[in-house]
Amino acid sequence: YIFKIVKLCYENEGFVSPTSVLKGKGQGEQPVILLVGNDTTFLMHMKEKLGTMGWYVIAVAQAEKVVSFFYDMRPHCIVIHFSTKEKHGFELLEMLNEKLKQQFISTMIISDDNKKETRLKSYALGADDFLAKPFDMDELIVRIQRQLERKKLIDELLLLDELTHVYNRKYLKQVYEQLQSDITRFKESYCLAVLDLDYFKKVNDHYGHLAGDTVLKEFARFLRQETRAGDTVVRFGGEEFLLLFPKTNIDTACLIIERIRTKFSNVLFQQGEKTFSCTFSSGIVEISEGNRPLEYWLQLADHALYAAKQAGRNRVQV
């Protein structure tokens, strides 16, 4: 690959790493657009124009960096520009196709030529839209807007929990299916943690269900904030959440959850004059083999959670 990384994540004066970008900008409501291409001048031009839409735009000119940016930034839309003399655009589409389909991330191809075979190949490889140069920047924006609306709708309909806006169990099932082959092929271990709020019934009873809902929303937000972009946060149901840590062993997972547990127990919620805090218990399991169904690991994690509850709550159990 001949691509070089352009000055991408510069914000104001300072460099912002992908992770810190996610912790601040680009997370939550703001759509994240990933621009990929080998013409850095053109990329920067697009980045500037798209940036005026209030989107968080990342431009990557180094082909081998695209995948990690993709995982770290969780883009809502990917715009790939390449000249058809080079194969990179098609290769990239092919490489990402499965992941993109799974997460309903739209891809838009910007091509130097408008040949029928280029258009058809782009669509065949999973592109959602195609624009040939020269094109009107306003048209690009409108088309991206349309893709973003579509993704938002699909996310809301299918994979996100309505109350907390973290993923739902349906999403977890999908992710796990993809993961299983990774675990077998690359012998990587993943960790799964179940987090269950302690005595949550009492929160509802004392402060009302609206306050309970607020705690759930805040807890979900807190979990997103305290985990890395590649980690998955799922509301499994009620006051129970799941965290999935890729490429993480059980010792590291324990440290992470323990840190989150301590920090969360110090968060204060306010309801009128009254303030209260909330804790959770957690059961953690290391997913060490890919040939077991998700339910198997969930059950193990649940056993650990039960032990944590039995031992007095507000603790982590392996």
Q: Which stretches of the chain bind Mg ion, using CB under 5 A?
A: 196-197, 200, 239-240
Of 118 and 282, CB closest to Mg ion: 282
Report if residue 167 touches ligand GH3, rule: CB under 6 A: no
> Distance (Å, rounded) from C-alpha 264 to C-alpha 195?
12
Do the Cβ atoms of 105 and 77 come closer than 8 Å?
yes
Nearest to 78 by CA among 52, 112, 39, 46: 46
Q: From the candidates 13, 86, 239, 273, give the one annotated as an active-site residue.
A: 239
Q: Which of 142, 163, 267, 311 binds ligand GH3 (CB under 6 A)?
A: 163
Q: What is the DSSP letter of 84?
A: T
Of 123 and 306, CB closest to Mg ion: 306
Q: Does residue 86 carry a catalytic annotation?
A: no
Q: Shortest Cβ distance from residue 264 to ligand GH3 (Å)?
A: 14
Report if residue 199 touches ligand GH3, rule: CB under 6 A: yes
In total, the chain counts a number of residues equal to 318
**What value, to the nearest 5°, has the Cα angle with vertex 274 and ends 269 and 277?**
35
> Distance (Å, rounded) from C-alpha 259 to C-alpha 112?
50
Q: Which of 70, 82, 176, 200 binds ligand GH3 (CB under 6 A)?
A: 200
Task: Name the binder of 99 from ligand GH3, Mg ion, none, CB < 5-8 A by kind.
Answer: none
Nearest to 277 by CA among 286, 285, 268: 268
Q: Which of 159, 216, 220, 278 binds ligand GH3 (CB under 6 A)?
A: 216
Interacting stretch for ligand GH3, rule CB under 6 A, among 211-219, 223-231, 259-267, 289-297? 211-219
Report if residue 71 touches ligand GH3, rule: CB under 6 A: no
Report if residue 206 touches ligand GH3, rule: CB under 6 A: no
Do the Cβ atoms of 80 and 105 come closer than 8 Å?
no
Task: Name the binder of 240 from Mg ion, ligand GH3, none, CB < 5-8 A by kind.
Answer: Mg ion
Q: Which of residues 237-256 bind ligand GH3 (CB under 6 A)?
A: 238-239
Of 39 and 198, CB closest to ligand GH3: 198
Peptide bond just before 75 cis, omega within 30 deg: no
Residue nearest to ligand GH3 (CB): 212
User: Strand runs (DSSP E) across the chain, as ranges?
Assistant: 10-11, 14-15, 32-37, 56-60, 77-82, 106-111, 129-132, 190-197, 232-237, 240-245, 269-271, 274-276, 280-287, 316-317
Q: Which of 86, 213, 218, 258 binds ligand GH3 (CB under 6 A)?
A: 213
Instruction: Give the tokens for residue 318.
Output: 């392996």
**Residues labelled as active-site residues:** 239
Binding residues for ligand GH3 (CB under 6 A): 163, 196-201, 204, 209, 212-213, 216, 238-239, 309, 313
